[in-house]
Amino acid sequence: MTSGVVPVVVLAAAGSHAFGWALLTAAITPLGDTVIVRTNGGTLHHTLTVHVATAVVLVVVGVVLILR
């Protein structure tokens, strides 16, 4: 829950550039989830389609907002 609230607060308080940085750093969470799922028997398909895809979206949107 906090992972979703903190970036929204950053957006409201500091604008889109800071929001981009917040999204970029938030990508750490799904990457950590990827490691946890894989080491506990999760399938490669699941980790790639859910967790890695989420991290990629966060990084791409974050970089676009930073460079804007």
pLDDT band for 48, please (50, 70, 90 cuts).
very high
Nearest alpha-carbon partner for 27 in 63, 66, 68: 63
Tell me how far apart the alpha carbons of residues 8 and 19 are, in angstroms, rounded to a whole number. Answer: 8
DSSP 3-38: HHHHHHHHHHHH-HHHHHHHHHHHTHHHHHHHHHHH
Write down the pLDDT at residue 3: 79
Q: Is the pLDDT of residue 18 over 90?
A: yes
Q: What is the rounded average pLDDT of the residues 8-15?
A: 95
pTM of the model: 0.90
Write down the pLDDT at residue 53: 97
Q: What is the rounded average pLDDT of the residues 37-65?
A: 97
